[in-house]
Amino acid sequence: MRDIFIHLQEPSQHKLYLVTELMRTDLAQVIHDHRIQISPQHIQFFMYHILLGLHVLHEAGVVHRDLHPGNVLLADNNDITICDFNLAREDTADTNKTHYVTHRWYRAPELVMQFKGFSKLVDVWSAGCMMAELFNRKALFRGTTFYNQLNKIVEVLGTPNMEDVTMFSSQSARDYLRNSLSGIAPRPWQEVVPSADAVALDLIQRMLEFNPQKRFNTEQALRHPYFASLFDPEDLRENLSDHFHFDERVDDVRVMHDLFQEEVQRFNALRQKRETVLRERLQQAAAQQDSTNVLGADHMPRTHSLMELAGNAPAPQ
């Protein structure tokens, strides 16, 4: 977010403007544009920042619930931005949360099985699906229906054990797993994602655990050896100071306007503080003649822009 401001058209009318970075494309377009060669370093870089973005959200008590490559925007310099928060909700113990969210292919088993007590770990499942897709250049679980999506998941992970099944609330889904998908052995991950190395496969497997209680959270994923060259413990400290409460209903228009005003003032104060910190980092970097990106986004040399590489690539025949 670059700026938020309210422009007064009339004394009785406020218009709120949000100014964001210009993002040229999204990860879905990159994955399916075969003029673009996605290197292992790009995948590592993208996944680190996707998981870091999710970590900030989850620390603020927000579940995205609709994470897929089309909702991950990509700038010319490969910076990552997670977008489309229409389905985002607070991470609460509310058992009345709707389960029908997320593009089907990226939907965690607890959502497929209509478990209303799902948590922020549904986003980690989606991230695991995207990581496999970055390597394979196609979606991992391409289900066509509710039951077919379960089929696709079990064909890779194998039939879940009784402990993993009984935690879900949908009796029909449990019966389907027991009766129609029993006795299926898991496929070797080397066969599922053949272009990934053993360390990358281990991370994918840990993010794609059928049982959410066994699945990695974002901090565990960021600390995985796969990100050894990128991880900085300070990255985990860059989060919101408190949970972000946004599900309360406001029925009074004037109260809503006042809340918008307060949010704009809060944002501007935080922006000024951040700009001061960034200026100090720039000055320190200049003094040290440090070639590392000082904004804190990169902990390795900047990778080549995928859009730049695509522009130099020959068109497919």
- pLDDT tens, residue by residue, 96-142: 444 444 588 999 998 888 766 678 999 999 999 999 999 999 999 99
Q: Which residues contact 10 (CB under 8 A, 6 or more apart)?
A: none
3-class DSSP assignment, residue 203:
helix
Sign of CA dihedral 43, 49, 53, 55: positive
Mean pLDDT of 177-182: 86
CB-CB contact of 35 with 314 (8 Å)? yes
Other CB atoms within a 10 A radius of the CB of residue 208 amount to 26
Task: Give the model's pLDDT for residue 294.
Answer: 28
pLDDT bracket for residue 33 (50, 70, 90): very high
Residue 296 clears pLDDT 50, i.e. is over it: no
Task: Give the CATH number for residue 86.
Answer: 1.10.510.10
The answer to whether the beta carbons of residues 210 and 193 sit under 8 Å apart is no
The reply to whether 2 falls in a domain is no
pLDDT band at 306; cut points 50, 70, 90: low
Q: Which two tokens stand for residue 67?
A: 């994470």
Sheet holding 80-82, edge to edge: 25-26, 72-74, 80-82
For residue 191, is pLDDT > 90? yes
Q: Please determine, for residue 29, whether its predicted confidence score (pLDDT) is greater than 80.
A: yes
Residues, the chain: 317
Is 250 within a domain?
no
* Rounded distance between C-alpha atoms, residue 237 and residue 34, angstroms: 37
Residue 41 burial (C-beta neighbours within 10 Å; 0-12, 13-18, 19+): middle
Q: What average pLDDT does this structure show over 172-177?
A: 83
Characterize 142-160 residue by residue with b for buried, 16 or more Cβ atoms within 10 angstroms of its Cβ, and e for exposed. Answer: ebeebeebbbbbbebbebb
Q: Would you say 224 and 203 are in contact if contact means Cβ atoms under 8 Å apart? A: yes
**Which residue range is the domain that position 198 belongs to?**
24-243+284-306
Each residue's pLDDT tens digit, 41-67: 999 999 999 999 999 999 988 888 889
Give domain status of residue 264, yes or no: no
Residue 256 within a domain? no
- Answer whether residue 19 shows pLDDT above 90: no
> How high is the pLDDT of residue 236?
87
Evaluate whether residue 189 is within a structural domain.
yes
Calculate the average pLDDT of the chain: 81
Q: Which residue has the tokens 């860059």?
A: 238
By the 8 A CB rule, do 208 and 124 touch? no
Longest dimension (CA), the chain: 68
| More confident site: 170 or 153 | 153
What confidence score (pLDDT) does residue 45 get?
94
Contact 152, 142 (CB under 8 A): yes
Which residue bears the tokens 């100090």? Answer: 280
Task: Return d(Cα 193, Cα 202) in angstroms, integer.
Answer: 11
| pLDDT at position 222 over 50 | yes
In a domain, 19, yes or no: no
Q: Is 251 a catalytic residue?
A: no
In a domain, 174, yes or no: yes
Please give the tally of structural domains in the chain.
1
Contact 130, 67 (CB under 8 A): yes
Q: Is residue 9 part of a domain?
A: no
pLDDT in tens, 226-265: 999 999 998 887 655 555 555 566 677 778 778 878 888 8
d(CA 57, CA 121): 12
Residue of 66, 91, 123, 164 marked catalytic: 66
